[in-house]
Structure 1
Amino acid sequence: MARGGRALDGTETGWGRSAEPAPRWRALLDRARLGGRTPEQVEADRRAEEPPARDPLPRRGSGNGWSGRASAAVPPAPSTYGADPGYRAEASYRVDPAYRAQPGYPPEPGHRADPGYPPEPVAESRYALLDNGYRHEPPPAESRYAPLLDEGYRSGYAPAEPTYPQQSGYRAEAAYPAAPTYPAEPAYPAEPSYAVEPAYPPAVTADRGYPARIEPARIEWRPPTPQDEQERAAGILRRDLGTPRVLAFANPKGGVHKTTATVLAAATVGSVRGRGVLAWDDNELRGTLGLRAGSARHARTIRHLISDLAHIEIREGADLLEALDDYLRHASDGSYDVLAGEESPRFAQRLDQFTVKRVLELLRRTHDVVCVDTGNNVESANWRTVMHAADQLVVTTVPREDAAFSADWMLDLLHEEGMGELADNAVTLISCPTPGRSSLQDDLERHFATRTRAVAVVPYDPALETGSSIEYHQLQPETRQAWLRAAAMMLEPFAR
């Protein structure tokens, strides 16, 4: 098989990229876990971040005659209040007996000679008198504040001030007698005008009868409950989306629940919004969305719609809805519509870029949310047109290495084709095909969280295992709750 005049020997893909074996996915997982570094670099960084080993405990010094303790030449001076620590008066600062009155100057009259008096002791500090410690003793009895300090504060008028003892040289003045003692004022009864009306008794406390104090309101924070999360997700799906939105469910690998995810997303959004939601099977190679969703009230598919597309596009309003309804199927509960794909592979040639744009424009005129189940051929114009027109990309996968590798390769392809913003803002949807949690699921969540905007996980449900018609109301409550959160995650950027 040749392409562009050059034969493909199996070492290149259709996009001019070197073929990569399946173990590359394990390398991608290692890159996600190690942040793009090799195990040797991680080990080197870990050793560099380790704190240095602590120095061993210092050894005791050799003995110096004091059992290993440093000897002091002078015993430390006792600590004094206000004195500089470590400072004490030296003996050399005492009064020298040699310094006496000069012979030429006789002492003044009435002044005795110095030798008759012993030298006054020199205090080590001018605050030495306070070195004995501050004693919490009551003031002397002659203090006017003694009754207050000894017995505490008393209510009423203060007693008469005591007379002060006569000091030397002074005579008590008769004009200043002691202050008389005033009797306490009698209690005044409450005036009748201040009585509270019996019809409005005030709230009183239990102890003193004062009006009750109004306590300020307190705001307590409570963690969100699952019920709060469900209400928030439903509120997002009810909001106005601005313009009609197109959700593309894609993964080149088959069997990764693209069709199941397209149907359940449309059913979830339609159950909340009530109308205006459509699921389109755009798989050009015999899609099964029309078989798994909607009532088979007719056998019309996308092929019949395209044949009459020119006559339908010119209609408006209710007339347009009525004309388009003849080509759509409906869910059993009427929550969403279905545009089935064509079963014949020959019809794929008619789905060119221009035709797909016309179909999408028509569906946007009649529906608010259009969920598109894309095919597996990433080289077709049909697949690329849907990707360019999509407002939100949903990458579907299951916890398998081959499915995850195909999804990761598709994101690289979108970046190469100039649709990197669509890939970065995508939502990765991991569907669990079996009960229990796969050992690979944690690796997938961490990896795609670095490549897409969000990651949603929907659990296994036995109602989906048979592969027959999907009935939303038959799903388990846990499955419906998970899909409600996943659908809200898809439409949250557009909700107003």
Structure 2
Amino acid sequence: MEGSETGWGRPAEPAPRWRALLDRARFGGRGPEQATTERHAEETGPSAPPPVEPLPRRGAGTGYSGRVAPVGPPADRPYGREPGYRPEPSYRVEPVRPAQTYGGPPPTYPVEPTYPAEPAYPAEPTYPAEPAYPSKPSYPAEPAYPVLPEQRRPEPVESRYTLLDNGYRHAAPPVESRYALLDNGGYQPPAPPTPPASPTPPASPAPPAPATVAGRPGRIEWRAQSVESDLERAAAVLRRELGTPRVLAFANPKGGVHKTTATVLAAATVGSVRGRGVLAWDDNELRGTLGLRAGSARHARTIRHLVADLVQIEIREGPELLEILDDYLRHASDGSYDVLAGEESPRFAQRLDQFTVKRVLELLRRTHDVICVDTGNNVESPNWRTVMQAADQLVVTTVPREDAAFSADWMLDLLHEEGMGELADNAVTLISCPTPGRLPIQADLERHFATRTRAVTVVPYDPALETGSSIEYHQLQAETRQAWLRAASAMLEPFAS
């Protein structure tokens, strides 16, 4: 078997290429003949003759230690071969060895023992049925008492949506609107629709004939008593005497919560009902916009001009005072309320100290019954604190947002710390909706501020207020005006007598 690579008794074959590579890596720089001789001596012994045919000589090494020279021609010489190049002999592919077979039959494993079946358990005992208990005794029926005529119930009125025999009964005659013109008896209610055919229509009592007046059908009026009475009651509250002039302060330290809009619309609502004696003052220290959004700017005078001439104005009385003060005020387009515009220059805010603010408020109390003040955002300024101390009613304005509600809640805590807790507890929370629809957070804010303030009112979104231009009260939707009527009534209700 010497020289054989398979070990299966076949003739010896030349050593494959991998043996030559292994010898080169094993013997390093020694020649192939010496390496072959040494390997042959190791396999056969020192006295054995050298092999007949040595392995073919390979090319020179690359110079790297432990590396084998590349086999085959270099890749960068496509058009020639190096001198002395000797092609390697083609080796035969090693034949596929047959699968090795093991002698002897496969082992026999013992069969698992057969376990006996589980014993059959006895069935549960059958319990006797419960005894039949005697039924309750039947009591004699109560005697039928005669029903007096005044005790008889009226016949139920049929509903227009009552289902009967797979169809609807005919609808009751429509009620005549309160705004329908009778035209001297020419108006007749429309005939009811023809009912669908029914196999066995039940007998129904005929509807009572409408009352007649002078030979013509009577006029049936329908009025939404709850809505109209609510609005009439709110308007009646605004018409009452307030005892003394009242100051309403609209406040929230956060900007963009509709303080200016609420101040203008509150003054416009109260002024539209009372007709006179209502004023809106822009007391924002950082260039408020109330003067731009309300009133017709027939002049450019602001609070700065009024303070400059305050000494000459305070000494006037009666109609003379009204006449000279009118030169410093702007008026709404319908004349329902007046406007005292704020100063555009922020440097003027330093001149509005607590003594000056008190003098202006005392002057306005002499000429107006309701004064709506749009406060600023700096709760530490003497101006803001003076208005809070002089206010009869605090109106907390907010929008259905968490940051706006948090700022309003913090302001209420601050008023309690400063000794104005009664003003905070009797405040009215005004929630203005900046978008159509009802936001999910709105219900949570209503419940929260209902525990902190006297009342909570909600005013809806109105597209006329979205542009931020001049506010015209008559251009608002009817729903918006009704909501503001209720809100203004809630603000002045504690003072109305």
- TM-score normalised over the length of structure 2: 0.56
Deviation by residue 1:233-266 (Cα, 9 ceiling, x = unmatched)? 0000000000000000000000000000000000
Residues 234, 67 of structure 1: CA spacing in aligned structure 2 closer, same or farther, 3 A cutoff? closer
Instruction: Give the residue type in structure 2 aligned to 1:279.
Output: A
Residues 223, 471 of structure 1: CA spacing in aligned structure 2 closer, same or farther, 3 A cutoff? closer
The equivalent residue for 1:138 is: none
The equivalent residue for 2:445 is: 444
3-state SS, counterpart of residue 287 of structure 2: coil
The equivalent residue for 2:69 is: none
Distance 2:131 2:481 in 1: 78
Alignment of 1:402-481 (within 5 A): 402-481=403-482
Alignment of 1:82-231 (within 5 A): 224-231=225-232
Distance 1:246 1:411 in 2: 18
Deviation by residue 1:274-322 (Cα, 9 ceiling, x = unmatched)? 0000000000110000000001100000000000001100110000000
Deviation by residue 1:425-446 (Cα, 9 ceiling, x = unmatched)? 0000000000011111000100
Residue 224 of structure 1: CA displacement? 4.3
Instruction: Give the residue type in structure 2 aligned to 1:439.
Output: P
Segments of structure 1 that go 5 or more residues without pairing to the other structure are 1-61, 72-221
Distance 2:478 2:133 in 1: 79
Deviation by residue 1:165-210 (Cα, 9 ceiling, x = unmatched)? xxxxxxxxxxxxxxxxxxxxxxxxxxxxxxxxxxxxxxxxxxxxxx
Q: CA RMSD in A?
A: 1.8
Distance 2:392 2:417 in 1: 19
Deviation by residue 1:84-129 (Cα, 9 ceiling, x = unmatched)? xxxxxxxxxxxxxxxxxxxxxxxxxxxxxxxxxxxxxxxxxxxxxx
The equivalent residue for 2:487 is: 486
State the identity as a percent. Answer: 87
Residue 350 of structure 1: CA displacement? 0.2
Alignment of 1:259-298 (within 5 A): 259-298=260-299
Instruction: Give the residue type in structure 2 aligned to 1:396.
Output: T
Residue 228 of structure 1: CA displacement? 1.0
Instruction: Give the residue type in structure 2 aligned to 1:422.
Output: L
3-state SS, counterpart of residue 372 of structure 1: strand
Instruction: Give the residue type in structure 2 aligned to 1:380.
Output: S
The equivalent residue for 1:353 is: 354
The equivalent residue for 2:312 is: 311
Number of residue equivalences: 284
Distance 2:133 2:327 in 1: 105
3-state SS, counterpart of residue 440 of structure 2: coil
The equivalent residue for 2:237 is: 236
- TM-score normalised over the length of structure 1: 0.56
3-state SS, counterpart of residue 355 of structure 2: helix
Residues 70, 258 of structure 1: CA spacing in aligned structure 2 closer, same or farther, 3 A cutoff? closer
Distance 1:306 1:471 in 2: 29
3-state SS, counterpart of residue 284 of structure 1: coil
Residue 267 of structure 1: CA displacement? 0.2
Residues 426, 69 of structure 1: CA spacing in aligned structure 2 closer, same or farther, 3 A cutoff? same
Moved >2 Å (runs of 4+): 66-71
Residue 492 of structure 1: CA displacement? 0.3
Work out which of the two has the higher radius of gyration on C-alpha atoms and give 1 or 2: 2
Distance 2:312 2:438 in 1: 51
Distance 1:300 1:377 in 2: 24
Instruction: Give the residue type in structure 2 aligned to 1:403.
Output: A
Residue 225 of structure 1: CA displacement? 1.8
Residue 69 of structure 1: CA displacement? 7.5
Distance 1:409 1:455 in 2: 17
Instruction: Give the residue type in structure 1 aligned to 2:309.
Output: D
Distance 1:389 1:404 in 2: 24
The equivalent residue for 2:164 is: none
Residue 67 of structure 1: CA displacement? 6.5
3-state SS, counterpart of residue 286 of structure 2: coil
The equivalent residue for 2:327 is: 326
Q: Which has the higher contact order (CA 8 A, sep 6+)?
A: 1
